[in-house]
Chains A and B, each alone.
Chain A
Amino acid sequence: MAPKKECIVFRVFKRTKELEAKIDEFLDTILQASLEFKQGIRYYLEENFEEFSKRAELVDKLEGKADTLRRDVENKLYAEMLLPEARGDVLALLENSDNVLNIIADTILGFQVERPKIPDFIDKYVFDLVSESTASVEEMVTTVRSYFKNITAVRDHITKIMFHEKESDRVGNRIRMDIFNSKDLDLAQKIHISTFIEKLLSIADYAEDVGDRISIYVIKRLD
């Protein structure tokens, strides 16, 4: 049987809605990975390694899923010549958001492989740092959504990303001061922990970069 022919307007409408759904799913994936990451690190700090491993695996899967979704969206944007003016910006936005997820996945993999020993006296601060970094990722996801759907709200969300990034810097510096001032840890352990703190800090940094880019794209769109 010949395939049923659809009206062109309906086809365009359906195609647009499918693509919008894919972009939303991509952002949902980043958000979900960020939450799983936060939960995973909590289990790690509680030394519940079985649960931690489950979360780490989940983050890895989500990272793969996000990659597939991103490629699909990018291909469709190009193949169907959508958004001729904003296409470059949208592509950069998706790729940079995906980079944040890559760092999250890379960090949790690091925890799983290298098993850094986190001393009890910084447990709370490390979790604070993870909370701030993931909060900046959550805000980043909201900012990207706003770029697509509600451009006037972008500014507020960017302010929140910046706030969380600053907070994570503050907590990160505090942790590094504490560990390098500690007399109970040897230098190798100090440097090992510091590397992970830097990784956690870079999550918020990358999220902030995405926010900065969006603020420029918004000007371009409203011009």
Chain B
Amino acid sequence: MFQEILVHLGEGLLEAFQPLNMMMIFFGCLAGLFVGALPGLGSVNGVAILLPVTFLVPPTSAIIFLAALYYGAMYGGAISSITLGIPGASTAVATVFDGRPMAQKGLADQALMAAAIASFLGGTVSIVLFTLFAPPLAKFALAFGPPEEFSLMILAFATFVGLGGDDIPKTIFSILIGLLLATIGLDIISGRPRLIFFDIPGFLHGINFLVLAIGIYGIGEMLWTLETTQGKVQVENVKITWKRFVSNLKQVKEYIGGATLGSFLGFFVGTLPAAGATPASLMSYGLTKTFSKDPDSFGKGKPAGVAAPEAANNSASTGSMLPMITLGIPGSPTTAVLLGGMIIWGLRPGPLLFAEHPEFVWGLVGSMYIANFVTVVLNLALIPVFVKVLATPFTVLAPIIFTLCVVGGFAPTQDMHDVWLMLLFGVFGYLLRKLDYPVAPAVLAIVLGPLAESSLRQTLIAGQGSAAVFLERPIALTCFFFALMLVLYPVYQAFTRKGKKKAEAAEA
């Protein structure tokens, strides 16, 4: 079987090395970088806008182009997260947590490099996993029913503990705010409207996750920076020399652990239909922080805090291709658009695609290996350009950030209602920050809340009101067990640390 895979992969690589396909990879990656870096545009819209271009070339070249674009966008999202503090796409929100503080310290080049290298690692791990285990993994994805989905969501919630810092009541408050915002809109199970404030129709589609994230991080951050710096340039112009590049490269060992964890976690979460790259990157950040030797330094500019989510989002983007190709079910919004493309090209995704169109599937796989190299090279080469942004005075940068935030708030739903909401969240985020509340748990809660709610209710309907179903599902039980461990781990850590401190005090 292994040999067979190698033969297929060789053919796939040969296919990807065709001049036309190589060109597709290069331009796809480049377009993806820019699409990802522009807030609110994101890979979904990028793929949707460029879908018609692909009708001019054969299907294999077309999917290669779109996959490269998807891939490049995952890298690109990190650029605006780090340099401007606005998440370029929902998948890059977790990158802001540490990327932005690093940039403020004048370490933007290090952050961008951590993002590029981690993304490369994530991409490589996931594509190797994809090559070797696609069919069995597809079976595993099928084993995920509503009870398993719910248990996975609980596992993700448990990583909140790692996201919140020391103040547990404030973390819980933040989670609850996020969950409350997530219940706004029409209920998916009964179809009834919930919490439609003042009967404003804009609330019917719920609160878009990106609206909250751009508001809190983009606008909130801008207000905060304006207050603290009074508009003065806070970052010195970093001279990128070869020496600095090499010394940055040596930093890799600091974050390789988090990036590896993120790579595997991202792929796994990405393969599950309905999850996708955004929860994967947030979970990866939370887990890396929890298991770090020094969790308190996260959120203040730690390279591992950039590497973990970036590895996960690239890995998940490959992972979410798996249910699309083998089951015809998109694992993320972007793959949903890709799926539409495949149908137009006359390819029906499903369990038979591997057997009936091997040249297509393996050409895609081969192209992902190459796209991975192309993007990492492009990224490393463009770091000096991106860092230049930070040398701009903040009085010039602030209006640009504001404009990008407004566009980013408007783009996903094209509704002015969301722009007002985004600005409101910006002020809210600024106040939370002044009061020292963690906002990341609220952001995660609004992503996972709806998924958790519907899977729990589907499970309970299936069990006719009884939760006993969970006890019969080994995968669900495993997830619950790990979730419990995750919650208890920081408590255990806190106790041992207290003990240590007491002992030190006694010695002194």
Q: Do A and B come from one complex?
A: no
